[in-house]
Structure 1
Amino acid sequence: MSEDHDTTPVRFDTKIAVLLREDLQTWQRLNVTAFLVSGLGTEAPEVIGEPYQDADGTGYLPMFRQPVLVFEGSKEILTAAHSRALARSLPRAVFTSDLFATGNDTDNRAAVRAARGADLDIVGLAVYGPRNAVDRVLKGARMHS
């Protein structure tokens, strides 16, 4: 059974982006990215697509309906991006350096709560919103390579 699929590239009006601090180790980049994007679907359920199913009928969890773009930048770029995301009231998630030393959700939230927003040592930031607004938040960052 064959289905017709439109192969025209989709240009979304919104963007999902993760900004990582450039000095993270590879395992940290992967861990931070996974943690950050896990929160977006709860705050912005429209980012989640339909469940998947293979030809055998085995079901799989739904995933984001659009790509997640990963960027990197200096500590200063992350601090500025955090401020811009807050000013634009965009859905966002943060990962601070303190979270590498915790082992559970309760301790993670306590570590973030212990610092004022301006004092957070942010190593990762996920943001979702209108494409132009997210682009402004990411000013100065470069695509992760």
Structure 2
Amino acid sequence: MTTENEPVRFDTKIAVLLRDDLEPWQRLNVTAFLVSGLGTEAPEVIGESYADADGTAYLPMFRQPVLVFEGTKEMLTAAHGRALSRALPCAVFTSDLFTTGNDRDNRAAVRAVPKDRLDPVGLAVYGARNAVDKVLKGARMHP
């Protein structure tokens, strides 16, 4: 029997891996873009709607924490390959997306480059904790 005071433990993990040479505004922007796709492909990550004491409704958010990591360019490339090889739900943000200004152009920029030649600056991944941990091997928590 569980009680409301017991910590909630998740067997899954939501993680974002950012390249360590990004500017602060880029880190925030990339993180926001990356996590926006997870709820559409993995609806189980979304919790229930919120409401304050006055009954004002707010949108639902992720039901579990999002862990943010950082790593080198080489680490991002390796993590991207590992996420794809494990068929985990994955969102990618490439360096080319800093020069576009809308979803259509973003998708075209990614579509123009073969997967093994993409230049990822950010990656969001969701799945079983141990599988996500293997994808993020060597990454460190974002400071």
User: What band does the TM-score fall into relative to the shorter chain?
Assistant: over 0.9
> Mind listing any 5+ residue stretches in structure 1 that lack a counterpart?
none
Deviations 1:42-74 (A, max 9, x none): 000000000000011100000000000000000
1:7 is displaced (CA, Å) by 2.6
Q: Describe the SS at the equivalent of 2:17.
A: strand
Q: Counterparts of 1:84 and 1:9 in 2: how far apart (Å)? A: 30
Partner of 1:90: 88
1:70 paired with 2:68, answer yes
Q: Counterparts of 1:11 and 1:62 in 2: how far apart (Å)? A: 19
Matched letter for residue 26 of structure 2? Q
Q: Given the two structures, how large is their TM-score scaled by the length of structure 1? A: 0.96
RMSD of aligned C-alpha atoms?
0.8
Q: Counterparts of 1:13 and 1:111 in 2: how far apart (Å)? A: 34
Partner of 1:116: 114
Q: What is the aligned length?
A: 141
Equivalences for 1:1-145 in 2 at 5 Å? Answer: 6-145=4-143
Q: Describe the SS at the equivalent of 2:138.
A: coil
> Mind listing any 5+ residue stretches in structure 2 that lack a counterpart?
none
Matched letter for residue 68 of structure 1? V
Deviations 1:71-113 (A, max 9, x none): 0000000000001000100000000011011000000000000
Percentage identity across paired residues of the two chains: 81
Q: Describe the SS at the equivalent of 1:72.
A: strand
Q: Counterparts of 2:118 and 2:5 in 1: how far apart (Å)? A: 43
Matched letter for residue 61 of structure 1? L
1:9 is displaced (CA, Å) by 1.6
Q: Counterparts of 1:33 and 1:70 in 2: how far apart (Å)? A: 8
Runs ≥4 in structure 1, deviation > 4 angstroms?
none
